[in-house]
Structure 1
Amino acid sequence: MSIEFLVASAIGALTAAGIYLCLRGRSFPVVLGLAMLSYAINLFLFAIGRLVVNRPPIYGKGLTEYTDPLPQALVLTAIVISFGMTALAVVLALRSFLETGTDQVDGIVEPDPPQPDAEARP
């Protein structure tokens, strides 16, 4: 089994789990799904630069082979953007919960199921 297959499988699993969680009805799974999608995107950006072992990321004198530093810079930028996006999603979910009293994404409060009366029982 190659490392490329493992990385591709991890990207696929994180993407599937992220999409599944983003489609849930509560706000906490949606935030977790966004985080998983951002991890999948980071892995994808890192895999774009080809997985190379034991090569420096910066070109120097006398080096004939080096790793492309652009995907690493893109991943660092994506980490900062995803952190800000996750913080915004958490704040919006908390504000929605405080305004509506529920953590449903659409803001509709679910009715409580009817409780059987204790006095009606024999």
Structure 2
Amino acid sequence: MTAAVAVGVLVATAVHLLLQRGQLRVILGFVLLGHAVNVLLLSAGGLRRRTPAFDGVGEEVVDPLPQAFALTAIVISFGITLYLLGLLRADGPAGDDGEPAGEDESADDRSAGEPAGDGDGR
């Protein structure tokens, strides 16, 4: 029951962040969605009473297949997170209007008019 609540909260928060405007919030939404999938996979494995192959004692043993799936999901979500952060860094900082912060209209005016220099035509 606790795992189901945790998955629900993580998915709800991830969807909320994915619907936000900022790129970093979208990336954090993907990270939280990856965590929700990991918790879901690990809770799906559950504990079962079986005799392990190496010992005859009937202890609670965890199925290794969901753990392998969760490990694979962790690696994939880590790779996707790094890719999205690389895209964010390559895009650069954006202003309020979505334009890159370093560009202004005065540079366009200079390139259309006279060449940049001392002002005496050199």
Tell me, yes or no, if structure 1 residue 61 matches structure 2 residue 55.
yes
Amino acid at match of 2:98: I
C-alpha distance 78-59 of structure 1, shift in aligned 2 (>3 A): farther
Runs of 4+ deviating beyond 3 Å: none
Q: Flag structure 2 segments of 5+ consecutive residues without an equivalent.
A: 100-122
Q: CA deviation at 1:93?
A: 1.3
Normalised by the length of structure 2, the TM-score is: 0.69
Is 1:22–2:14 an aligned residue pair? Answer: no
Cα distance, 1:48 vs. partner? 1.0
How many residues align? The count is: 97
From 74, 84, 87, the equivalent of 2:82 is 87
Q: CA RMSD in A?
A: 2.5
2:98 corresponds to which residue?
108
**CA–CA distance in 2 between the matches of 1:61 and 1:28?**
49
Deviation string, structure 1 residues 14-58 (Cα, Å, up to 9, x no partner): 0000011011111111111111000000000101111x28x79x6
Give the TM-score normalised by structure 1: 0.69
The structure, 1 or 2, with the larger RCO (C-alpha pairs under 8 Å, 6+ apart) is: 1
- Counterpart CA distance in 2 for 1:59 and 1:18 is 40
Choose between structure 1 and 2: higher strand proportion: 2
Larger Rg: 2
